[in-house]
Structure 1
Amino acid sequence: MIFQPKTLITGANGFIGGALTAKLFARGEVEDAIFLIRSSKPEEGLVRLVNTLRNHGIKTEQLLKLRLEQILCGDLNVVNRWIDDPRLSSIENVVSSAAVASFGNHPSIWPTNVDGVLNMAHGLAHRCKLKRFLHIGTAMACGLDSPNPVPEGYNLGKKTQHFLEYTHSKYEVEQRLKEELPDLPLVIARPSIVVGHTKLGCKPSGSIFWVFRMALALKAFPCALDQKIDVVPVDYCADALYLLLTKPKLKYDSYHISAGEKYSSNFAEIDKSIAKATGLPPLTNYQQKSYEQILLMKDQFKTLLGECNRRIVAKAIKTYGNFSTLELAFDNQRLIEEGMSEPTPLAKYAELCELTSKDISISEQMKFDYK
């Protein structure tokens, strides 16, 4: 008998997709899901997924519930090779989480994040009776000239000045999904900055946490210590996505998953939390410096940060440093209206993130974001 899954999840090996899949395990709702995994054979794909889920705290006895038939081999760059798989004809819900989330100029960003998602959506819409297509974007798709706080559903259109090629691609695919597939039951989730896990710290991924470690090691960054940053933990993000995936009726078609003004932490609070883990006192000699001023310190990068690529470090400081000075917050009232709890501020769990990062260098942790 052919396995007839109800939910297709792409990106389950990623940070956010892995957290959502772990949530399905916790709810005992993983049996009806099929996972698109970049692999040449199901056995290889299953091993990759199992390793990811272990990092998200799923125990071996739970992982034994996964079956080979739940692995769909392929990726978004070769949609034509798997879109006609007979198992997909029963799909009702899609979680579109797979993406090239590199903050460099990765050549696969546009083919994967835009063309691949569109090809998948067209193929599934043609052959399935979809009830929900949950696409995971990014709150940063709002662009540089956004109001603050950024309203949910905000769209400046073609005038949008994008932060990065990645955020541009995420904006573009949202617009084209709406234009090309107006009947698609599309729900867009735009997480803000996703850092760590409230119970696992950086074990699932060190993505972006290295930025805070870097600023503390340099004792300098473009932002002031009293400036706030909108960050949510990945487990909160997974809880929100689960709600958006499973709630029978939603009031809106786009949502921020964010800390908002109320639960954003400032850099001094984050520093104080990290200091508890390191056993060192909070910074007293921090200096707010421009990108150009920090570049003058480049000969000290290896001494302060450990073995690193100075060019990539400089690029990272420019990207994240410039963003940190904007102090953007993303309104999250729509999600709260739907019944979601308030998020945990980064300052409440940054100590755990530091404790679970101490054995990995800053440059190694940067690889989560600079592939």
Structure 2
Amino acid sequence: MSARRSILVTALAALALTLTGGGGGVAAGAPSAEDTPAAAATYTVTVGSKGSWTHPDDTPAAPYLDKDGTFYFQQAHALYGATQPRRWTFYTGTDFDTATRSSAISDAVDPANSNDRNNDTTWRCNNSATGLESTAPPAGSGYSQRNFCDLAGVWVDPDTGAWYGLVHNEFTPQPFGDGVHYDGIDSAVSTDQGRTWRITSHVITYPYSTKRGDTAAFPQQTYHYGDGDPRLFVDIASGYFYVYYGSRIVEKGGGWKAFHAHVARAPISGKMAPGSWRKWYDGAWTEPGVGGRESNMVPVEASGSTGYTPVPDEYDPANAGTVSQQVAAGLMPPTSPLFVIEKM
């Protein structure tokens, strides 16, 4: 494991303990017995020399163990051009340094549908839970599809051996004449060790509209990009999945300007079912994963000890002004230093 990857695993473990009450207890109220570790743990992060990495991709490599203990990692990309690749790729070996691409999984084709394949996910993304609700890009757009989706994090059910994953969606391109899109997170399952996948349903979405040009939902100069870029952490000790994800505020006709960090969790026993997820909001795990409100995570500092933006200071689409104007006026938080925490 490289030094960078060691830092990520350690940092995510520490943050999960903090949110569940083990490392300072930022969640409101006394932690329940199921959330409290037997003894508080401490962590030390050290940084060594930069390790090499020979398999860069758009979605970071996510490790997991199969039912028989075999090591895998997966990563993905979904490029926008009509002839550019869109792939979910799988590697296996002893560890990150020895793993090689599995052609048996990475090049697998659904025997019931030759259009659905891991090395070309165009059909899969467009016909997924999010894809079927999406709309096509405007004429002349650099986006060739209505939805682009990446597998981003896998967990193997020890009871059945099924592979469960989170899917990052980028859909309905250029909804207000800008250069970007909406984001949302779905769940997927494979019962044949990753060869074929079924994207089942939404699991984490934001509370605003994702319709093209919806000026009733976004009447001012900005709109909310949605929830995406999930980073899955399986905390067996607490019995929860934790998903760290991000959102962005976009200026109509322009691009994204403010980047906000969020977290949701679900009991592992729920096997990523959509109704099992709860977002961290105002210091507690109270909001549903689909359509619920979410707090922007920030570092705990002397100026703020809760670890999140106060609710009145969160983004409100009814507020007028550009992103920089609203940030300066205290109408929305600036970019969080915790946005997509693995990019450290």
Pair in the same fold by TM > 0.5: no
The structure with the largest helix share of the pair is 1
Please report the TM-score for the alignment, with normalisation by the length of structure 1: 0.29
Please report the TM-score for the alignment, with normalisation by the length of structure 2: 0.30
The structure with the largest strand share of the pair is 2
